[in-house]
Structure 1
């Protein structure tokens, strides 16, 4: 009987190192030929399975797969599609089962964040509810760093490094111009409910006068009066004020400052326009000249300045997912476990998806300064090793060299199509 094939897919917002996890999966599976057949990737995530749009990674060269280590974004395409419960949408589960059977797939590796963990958990239950043997392993990835039971989430360390560097460089720019020009600079970063990315900007400050002078966290209710007072006091003291604001900044009643009034496929409120909104607030109330920027996709795609720690961990969780599957495990997630002691050490642990799916890890209050506008030494101790090391890609003609896969499709075996 031929070895079962594996299905790997990327989900949600991508990162600078998600492809390193793909590399870990594919290389480890190739090292276990005979136990695992081929690794098929879903074109655009779980949608690729539903539409029977599979990519044959065995057609990619060893060098191309290795090149994923230094290539940002999702090499196979990602999506935002959350499976409903079996009772709500049985057709999708039946379709998955049909596709998996047709292609002899017995291993499911889903690389994503909290909603992806929920999807992976539901897929893992196919074995029990629909009588099909399937092992599902979730591979953690989220720049928001908000998955529980893992010390950090692959993808976060590189974003943190990019934001800390960008904040430091922008701060120097503002300092050099504040006498006659910009007094206030605002950088908007990602982070809907957890302020980990915004917190990483705090690493840029080594002295009291260094930016960022104000960090806005989702975990701390926004107070307009206190915010404006801090801006005014900072400009009076230092001549300028650098602000880093998490997109999820919200009022005490839970309303987002940047709520666009639109929801996405996962039911999340779409956010946008925080930085210009804050800038206008500062201008109208204090009269300061300002500039603002939104890191947006730049922060999560910045492979040119990725963290070596982050890259190593992203590869490790991908490789561990395959090892877990070969050990017969199901409905689990490889996680990062931080060692004790002053020197940073980490190893791979294991977390049950029942305790990961649909749960968020927010910033502990002990990581946020008493006034709510900065980070503490405990936060610095946590964050600093995650941005350590420079994992530069190879360059050609002044630009990074990123791999482009062939993405050769697997021949369809089913006669029926499926609309997603």
Structure 2
């Protein structure tokens, strides 16, 4: 039986460890040459696949592939592009199958979050209908930690560590100047519908008075009066108030505090920055001097402070995806199963993509304090193991991390051009 080629693609917003997953995929495929032929990577995700821009990873040096494990960003390029249903856009599905046929693709691994899981699920279902079955595996990735079934998502642990460290360090700065300067500091983090990242800031709290003094979650409607009361109490008691706010915080009517009125490629509201909104409210109602920061891309690219647990799990998901494909599985996603809290242990599990696609896992109510401004011991028990361990990248003589850029040589095209409305 002829060996099948494998196609891997990255999707959506990248994480500090998505390339560790890519490393796991490619290295595992390379040691299974009797079952896997060439390994291609879509240039800029599914868009690259549709355009037949396939990177031939066999042209990459072994050392460079290994270096992906400690390199941030998306080494092969990512995109925000969601396939419609086949009844709405049959041409895209037919094009995918044409590309698969032209390059003898038997395995398709799509590395992304909820919307990407939807794409992977659709591809897993459509091959047989169009006369070319392909084994499709979804590979989990999202800093938002909102995929169902899996205990946690690769990428989240490192972002959680970054946020906890950042609010701890920034708060020490604010505290040292609070007597004559800034009284309130606000750190905005990602999290449209789920407050996992914001909750991670709570890990900086070890004793009474430790920051952050307030966490604002998407799961709880923003109550202006209660918020301002807590800010005032914190400033009077501790000299300053440190706040972590999720970008997805809404008012009682369900409107994002920072909704800009624009929609992204997935149809999601484009959020315009909630930190300055909160800061203006503090200034207007309480008169306190403030500073705010938006972690934005910094949080999802901070590989220098990655969690070792996260790196190990990201690599393991890539390896498991290849193992699943070789074993003949399709329409599934490898997951992380927590088997013990003390000591923390986990193993690789499995979930059908039909139960993952387009579903969000939000913060359980038991993880948020009754006042809505902090995390509970249960949340801390869940979060703490995910940020443990250091996995620093190597550094050069100039004191900067040694990250890798791949050659990304494209395989020769065999088909006519295809227009993609991206």
Q: Is 1:402 paired with 2:403?
A: yes
Q: Distance in 1 between matches of 2:33 and 2:237?
A: 65
Q: Distance in 1 between matches of 2:45 and 2:127?
A: 21
Equivalences for residues 237-252 of structure 1 within 5 A? 237-252=237-252
Q: Is 1:366 paired with 2:373?
A: no
Q: Distance in 2 between matches of 1:416 and 1:292?
A: 47
1:333 counterpart residue number = 333
Report the CA distance between 1:128 and its aligned residue.
2.7
Structure 1 residues 121-130 or 198-207, which shifts more?
A: 121-130
Equivalences for residues 11-410 of structure 1 within 5 A? 11-396=11-396, 397-410=398-411
SS at 2:37's partner residue? coil
Q: Distance in 1 between matches of 2:329 and 2:273?
A: 44
Q: Distance in 1 between matches of 2:3 and 2:46?
A: 22
Which structure 1 segments of 5+ residues have no match?
none
CA contact (8 A) 2:309 2:386 kept: yes
Q: Distance in 1 between matches of 2:290 and 2:233?
A: 16
Question: Structure 1 stretches (4+) deviating beyond 2 angstroms?
Answer: 415-420
Q: Distance in 2 between matches of 1:278 and 1:417?
A: 46
Q: Distance in 1 between matches of 2:243 and 2:309?
A: 27
Q: Distance in 2 between matches of 1:55 and 1:181?
A: 53
CA contact (8 A) 2:114 2:357 kept: yes
Q: Distance in 2 between matches of 1:398 and 1:272?
A: 35
SS at 2:142's partner residue? coil
SS at 1:339's partner residue? strand
TM-score by length of 1: 0.99
Report the CA distance between 1:233 and its aligned residue.
1.0
Report the CA distance between 1:62 and its aligned residue.
0.9
Q: Distance in 2 between matches of 1:129 and 1:283?
A: 60
TM-score by length of 2: 0.99
CA contact (8 A) 2:333 2:353 kept: yes
CA contact (8 A) 2:97 2:127 kept: no
Report the CA distance between 1:131 and its aligned residue.
1.8
* Residues 266-308 of structure 1 deviation map (CA, whole Å, 9 limit, x = unaligned): 0000112210111010000000000000000000000001000
* Residues 187-235 of structure 1 deviation map (CA, whole Å, 9 limit, x = unaligned): 0000000000000000001111111000000001100111111101111
1:417 counterpart residue number = 418
Q: Distance in 2 between matches of 1:416 and 1:377?
A: 56
Q: Structure 1 residues 295, 109: closer, same or farther in 2, change over 3 A?
A: same
* Residues 55-105 of structure 1 deviation map (CA, whole Å, 9 limit, x = unaligned): 000111110100000000100000000000000000000000111100000
* Residues 394-415 of structure 1 deviation map (CA, whole Å, 9 limit, x = unaligned): 0011100001111011000013
Q: Structure 1 residues 413, 83: closer, same or farther in 2, change over 3 A?
A: same
Q: Distance in 1 between matches of 2:164 and 2:129?
A: 47
SS at 1:292's partner residue? strand
Paired residues in the alignment total: 420
Report the CA distance between 1:175 and its aligned residue.
0.6
SS at 1:399's partner residue? coil
Q: Distance in 2 between matches of 1:407 and 1:326?
A: 25
Which structure 2 segments of 5+ residues have no match?
none
CA contact (8 A) 2:51 2:417 kept: no
SS at 1:41's partner residue? strand
